[in-house]
Amino acid sequence: MSVADTPRREWLLSDQPTSRRQARLGQMYRTWLAFRQNKLAMIGLGIVLLLVLVAIFADLIAPYDPLISGDLRTARLVPPSWDHLMGTDDQARDIFSRVVHGSRLTLMVVALVAIIATPIGLLVGTTAGYFGGWTDTILMRITDIFLAFPRLILALAFVAALGPGIENAIIAIAITSWPPYARLARAETLTIRDTDYIAAIRLQGASSLRIISGHVVPLCLSSVIIRVTLDMAGIILTAAGLGFLGLGAQPPQPEWGAMIAAGRRFLLDFWWVATMPGIAIFTVSLGFNLLGDGLRDVLDPKGRG
Amino acid sequence: MSLTTNDPGGRSSAPSRFLWKVTKLLATLAMTFFGLLLVTFLIGRIVPVDPVLAVVGDRASQSVYDKAFIELGLDKPLYEQFWIYLQKVMTGDFGQSFLTKKDISEDILRVFPATVELATVGILIGTILGIPIGILAAVKQGKLADQMVRVLGLIGYSAPIFWLGLLALLVFYAKLGWVAGPGRIDIAYEYSVTQKTGLLLIDSAMQGQWDAFRNVFSHIILPASLLGYFSMAYISRMTRSFMLNELAQEYITTARVKGVPEWRIIWVHALRNAAVPLVTVVALSYAGLLEGSVLTETVFAWPGLGQYLTNSLQNADMNAVLGGTLVIGVIFVGLNLLSDVLYTLLDPRVRRRG
């Protein structure tokens, strides 16, 4: 550790922070230190960061064009080699380039589902928990109904109705993802609702909207975020499953699940076409699983098990 | 209500409390089913496909179109349409499939046994392997065995099931030739077994057709092992956590002090208490297999509910999709309920608390 680092470290770990900012940063730093101890979680973080970097620099990393066919006479279904790290598919496209570009689609699906489903879950859960009574009963019944379908099946039905395509797949997955977040947010809200500080804010005349958005939601946020991170592997697998069934991204988009489906016809003779995109899905969802497990261990010691 | 007359002085007697619980359960169940129907109905409404055109074809004249429009009840307000839908579904009428031209309920009954057979063999494999592995991980907590079980589980949580299925076909069927390929039974045997239960393993065994039985087994073992692996990942993880919880209790220390042998402490004392929540877990993962079966059946060309659903999806056969979705939803709810009931029946603490 360099000399310049030491005072900053002491400042962060100080027992008597002089400002709120120092306390908060110190808390974050301590969480990071605990997280860093967990090797598997760090591997997960590494994989997720790698995914983000690959998605950003896909154009620079991919040696070939992901959509345009190569020479159909000579470059069709070529096994993995130094020219084509993962071989080529039946359209003579470089599979490695397609996998690299596919990371953008995967990242987009995960990010959009999280952005759509988390606020819905938070809104429904905190509202139900805070108001209680009939509001609670009605909102939670609706949540239960969505939980009553297996997730992939409900997503399938929605995509069937909306029509195949990556946007509709994202909407369908988001619609099926929010109920567990709502349940979690409600449970958290129930423990927060009757605390003294909420009563104090209420006595100051704060509106319900203000209490929920300013004081209840921030307290539920961390556990919901952990849950969303743990869910991301599931989101990726559902999206890949929809793609595999031909209901997600449409050809020639390099979506990993759809690529596996396309490689299925050549499985017995040209194994790499279906295998390579599967390795990508597996690695990324493993990364999110490891990251989520690590986050839960650090931020929510109760959930360990 | 009869419940209140049985309730003098506010202290409810045991039978009335039981009745009250059953009523509440039934009410919840009815509301959930109502909700399931509402969801499938609304999904059916947002389809951009014109349901009239699907019936009469796009070359029909305006008068034929109008007639079909009224016959389908599309001129009525939405709530009335829902009411008609509700009545139809209650009598088991999901409409006709555009693809097979048969009643959807008939189609579903025909394909359902294949799914049940696959999921049942899968859950058997998952339970038989998952529980001992979970116990092993709990006993050897933090050691190599525990880490290996964790890795095994992580792979199960992270790998796409359809991809593993394809790889398994490639290795065990194409390269090694250990098992039979896609499908449920070879054509050579298909008509020699008369279907009574629809479960081919049982049918062929009951008729003493052991060649056919071997063939069916060799077809089912790969997809069932795959499903079994995924449920094993979940079951072993939960077993581990329940066992760790039990092994930390004081009665275990007492047993150790008494000098009870370690195997007895683990397999009898602790496991018996961990078994109650485990039953719930097994029931839930059986429900989860229904979901996994959609992709698995597609990969293995298994003629069950999952393949029926995906086939209908790819042919935009909306009635069949919604019928299948509804049936799976109902089974899912049923299994969830079953796990709740089993939990109540098995755990004396919950039973007494009422």
Q: Which residue among A142, A153, A268 places its CB closest to the CB of B328?
A: A153
Instruction: Indicate yes or no: CB of B290 within 8 angstroms of CB of A260.
Output: no
Closest CA–CA distance from residue B119 to any residue of chain A (Å): 15
Asked whether residue B204 falls in the same domain as residue B288, the answer is: yes
Residue A59 contacts B, CB cutoff 8 Å: no
Asked whether residue B37 falls in the same domain as residue B116, the answer is: no
Closest residue by Cα to residue A294 from B217, B171, B154? B154
Asked whether residue B155 falls in the same domain as residue B224, the answer is: yes
How high is the pLDDT of residue A301?
53
Identify which of A27-41, B181-195, B217-231, B321-335 has the greatest average pLDDT: B217-231
Q: Which residue of B has its CA nearest to A292?
A: B154
Q: Is residue B353 domain-resident? A: no
Q: Which residue among A237, A268, A271 places its CB closest to the CB of B160?
A: A237
The token pair at B98 is 């555009």
Q: Is residue B332 domain-resident? A: no
CB B90 within 8 A of CB B330: no
Closest CA–CA distance from residue B253 to any residue of chain A (Å): 21
Asked whether residue B170 falls in the same domain as residue B230, the answer is: yes
Helix, strand or coil, per DSSP, at residue A255:
coil
Alpha carbon dihedral A51, A52, A53, A56, in 10-degree steps, equals 120
How high is the pLDDT of residue A53?
93
CB B182 within 8 A of CB B301: yes
Asked whether residue B152 falls in the same domain as residue B282, the answer is: yes
Q: Is residue B317 domain-resident? A: no
Residue A43 contacts B, CB cutoff 8 Å: no
Q: Which residue of B has its CA nearest to A242?
A: B295
ipTM of this predicted structure: 0.84
Q: Which residue among A144, A151, A289 places its CB closest to the CB of B158?
A: A289
pLDDT for B256-283, tens place per residue?
899 888 888 888 888 888 888 888 889 8
Asked whether residue B286 falls in the same domain as residue B174, the answer is: yes
User: Which of A149, A229, A271, A285 is the best mutation test for B, with the most CBs of B within 10 A?
Assistant: A149
Asked whether residue B41 falls in the same domain as residue B140, the answer is: no
DSSP secondary structure letter of residue A212: I
Q: Is residue B95 domain-resident? A: no
CA A147 to chain centre: 19
Closest CA–CA distance from residue B206 to any residue of chain A (Å): 34
Whole-model pTM? 0.85
Residues ≥6 apart with Cβ < 8 Å to B124: B228
Q: Which amino acid is at B151?
A: V
Identify the band that residue B310 occupies on the pLDDT scale cut at 50, 70 and 90.
confident
Instruction: Indicate yes or no: CB of A278 within 8 angstroms of CB of B169.
Output: no
The token pair at B275 is 């078994």
Closest CA–CA distance from residue B212 to any residue of chain A (Å): 26
Residue A225 contacts B, CB cutoff 8 Å: no
Write the CA distances from B107 to A74, A75, B133, B185, integer angstroms: 47, 45, 39, 19
How high is the pLDDT of residue A303?
46
What residues does each domain of chain A span? 35-66+93-303
Domain count, chain B: 2
Closest CA–CA distance from residue B205 to any residue of chain A (Å): 33
Identify the band that residue B92 occupies on the pLDDT scale cut at 50, 70 and 90.
confident
CATH of A35-66+93-303, one of 2.40.33.20, 3.40.190.10, 1.10.3720.10, 2.130.10.10: 1.10.3720.10
How high is the pLDDT of residue A3?
52
Question: B7 pLDDT exceeds 60?
Answer: no
Element (H, E) at A82: none
* Torsion region of B87: left, alpha or beta (phi above 0 gives left; psi -120 to 50 gives alpha): alpha
Closest residue by Cα to residue B231 from B138, B145, B120, B127? B127
pLDDT tens, residue order, chain A (305 aa): 455 567 778 888 877 778 888 888 887 888 888 888 888 889 999 999 999 999 999 888 888 888 877 777 777 777 888 877 888 887 778 888 899 999 999 999 999 999 999 999 999 999 999 998 899 988 988 898 888 788 888 888 888 888 888 999 999 999 999 999 999 999 989 888 888 888 898 899 888 889 988 888 888 888 888 888 888 999 999 999 999 988 888 888 889 999 999 888 888 888 888 889 999 999 999 999 999 888 887 776 554 43
pLDDT for B106-160, tens place per residue?
888 888 888 999 999 999 999 999 999 999 999 888 888 888 888 888 888 899 9
Closest CA–CA distance from residue A62 to any residue of chain B (Å): 24
CB B80 within 8 A of CB B88: no
How high is the pLDDT of residue B4?
40
Burial of B271 (0-12, 13-18, 19+ CB in 10 A): middle
Q: Is residue B102 domain-resident? A: no
- Using CA atoms, how far apart are residues B270 and B263, in angstroms rounded to an integer? 10
Asked whether residue B65 falls in the same domain as residue B172, the answer is: no
Closest CA–CA distance from residue B203 to any residue of chain A (Å): 30
Question: Distance between terminal CA atoms of chain A?
Answer: 35
CB pairs under 8 A between A and B: 141
pLDDT for B25-68, tens place per residue?
888 888 888 888 888 888 877 776 666 766 666 677 777 778 77
Asked whether residue B304 falls in the same domain as residue B158, the answer is: yes
Instruction: Indicate yes or no: CB of A289 within 8 angstroms of CB of B321.
Output: no
Q: Is residue B250 domain-resident? A: yes
Q: Which residues of B touch A161 (CB under 8 A)?
A: 43-44, 46-47, 318
Least reliable range by pLDDT among A277-281, B37-41, B186-190, B212-216: B186-190
- Using CA atoms, how far apart are residues A207 and A213, in angstroms rounded to an integer? 10
Instruction: Indicate yes or no: CB of B295 within 8 angstroms of CB of A150.
Output: no
Q: Which residue among B166, B287, B288 places its CB closest to the CB of A260?
A: B166
Asked whether residue B84 falls in the same domain as residue B116, the answer is: no
Q: Which residue among A141, A260, A286 places its CB closest to the CB of B154?
A: A286
User: Which of B34, B151, B163, B312 is the best mutation test for A, with the most CBs of A within 10 A?
Assistant: B163
In chain A, % helix, strand, coil (3-state, to 5) comes to 75, 0, 25
Element (H, E) at A271: none
Asked whether residue B270 falls in the same domain as residue B151, the answer is: yes
Element (H, E) at A91: none
Helix, strand or coil, per DSSP, at residue A27:
helix
CB A224 within 8 A of CB A184: yes
Helix, strand or coil, per DSSP, at residue A94:
strand
CB B130 within 8 A of CB B236: yes
Question: Distance between terminal CA atoms of chain B?
Answer: 21
The domain in which residue B72 lies consists of: 25-90
Instruction: Indicate yes or no: CB of B38 within 8 angstroms of CB of A144.
Output: no
Q: Which residue among A161, A264, A278 places its CB closest to the CB of B43?
A: A161
**Residue range B296-316: mean pLDDT, rounded:** 87
Q: Is residue B325 domain-resident? A: no
Asked whether residue B41 falls in the same domain as residue B162, the answer is: no
Helix, strand or coil, per DSSP, at residue A56:
helix
